[in-house]
C-alpha cells in the first residue's frame, strides 16, 4: 500500500512538472484541456468571442450575413465576374482552410493570400484597419458558431497544415 501511494505521488509530481514545463515553453495561456487545441483560433475563449462578435457584426455581417449565411448564389459569378460573399457557417468553405490561411485572407485580401494577383473580389484586405488580434477574434467567433463535427474537421485541417509547414 505504501509503495502504491509513493507511485501515485511520483506520478502527480511528474504531471506537475510537465505542466510547469508547458507553461514555460508555451506561455501561461497553454491549455491542453481545451476542446480545440489545434490552431491559432480560440473558439472557447469567452472574452475573445465577445470582441469577435462585435467586430463581425460591424465589419463582416453586411456581406457575409448576420447569421453567417453569406450572399445568395455565392457559388455563381455575378455580371461583374466576381463571386458573392460565401457563408461562414458549416455550409460554406471557410472551415476548409487552416487558421493561418484564414488570417492571411482576412489580413491581406484573397488575391494576395492565395498568390493570384489578378483575382477579382469584393473582399477587402483588413490588415490596415484591424489588428491581427482583432482578426483572430473574428475568426474565433466564426469558428465558435460551427457544429462540433465541423470544428473537428477544421482542427484536422490545422493539424495537417502544421505537419506540412517547414519547421
pTM: 0.75
**72, three cell numbers:** 445568395
87-141 pLDDT, tens digit each: 999 999 899 999 999 999 999 999 999 899 888 899 999 999 999 999 999 999 9
Mean pLDDT of 154-160: 93
Same domain, 1 and 14: yes
What Rg, from alpha-carbon coordinates, does the chain have? 20
pLDDT of residue 31: 40
**What range defines the domain where residue 95 resides?**
34-164
Same domain, 90 and 13: no
Using the predicted structure, report yes or no on whether residue 35 has a pLDDT greater than 50: no
Same domain, 107 and 50: yes
By C-alpha distance, which of 161, 55, 147, 45 is closest to 100?
161
Q: How confident is the model at residue 162 (pLDDT cuts 50, 70, 90)?
A: confident
Cα dist from 1 to 8, 15, 39, whole Å? 11, 21, 43
Amino acid at each position: 500500500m505504501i509503495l502504491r501511494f509513493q507511485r501515485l505521488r511520483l506520478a502527480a509530481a511528474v504531471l506537475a512538472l510537465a505542466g510547469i514545463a508547458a507553461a514555460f515553453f508555451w506561455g501561461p495561456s497553454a491549455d491542453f484541456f481545451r476542446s480545440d487545441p489545434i490552431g491559432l483560433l480560440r473558439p472557447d475563449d469567452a472574452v475573445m468571442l465577445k470582441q469577435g462578435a462585435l467586430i463581425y457584426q460591424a465589419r463582416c455581417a453586411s456581406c457575409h450575413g448576420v447569421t453567417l449565411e453569406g450572399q445568395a448564389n455565392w457559388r455563381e459569378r455575378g455580371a461583374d465576374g466576381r463571386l458573392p460573399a460565401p457563408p461562414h457557417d458549416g455550409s460554406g468553405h471557410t472551415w476548409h482552410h487552416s487558421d493561418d490561411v484564414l488570417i492571411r485572407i482576412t489580413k491581406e485580401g484573397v488575391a494576395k493570400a492565395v498568390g493570384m494577383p489578378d483575382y477579382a473580389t469584393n473582399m477587402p484586405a483588413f490588415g490596415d484597419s484591424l489588428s491581427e488580434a482583432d482578426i483572430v477574434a473574428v475568426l474565433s467567433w466564426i469558428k465558435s458558431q460551427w457544429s462540433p463535427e465541423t470544428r473537428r474537421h477544421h482542427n484536422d485541417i490545422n493539424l495537417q497544415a502544421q505537419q506540412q509547414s517547414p519547421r
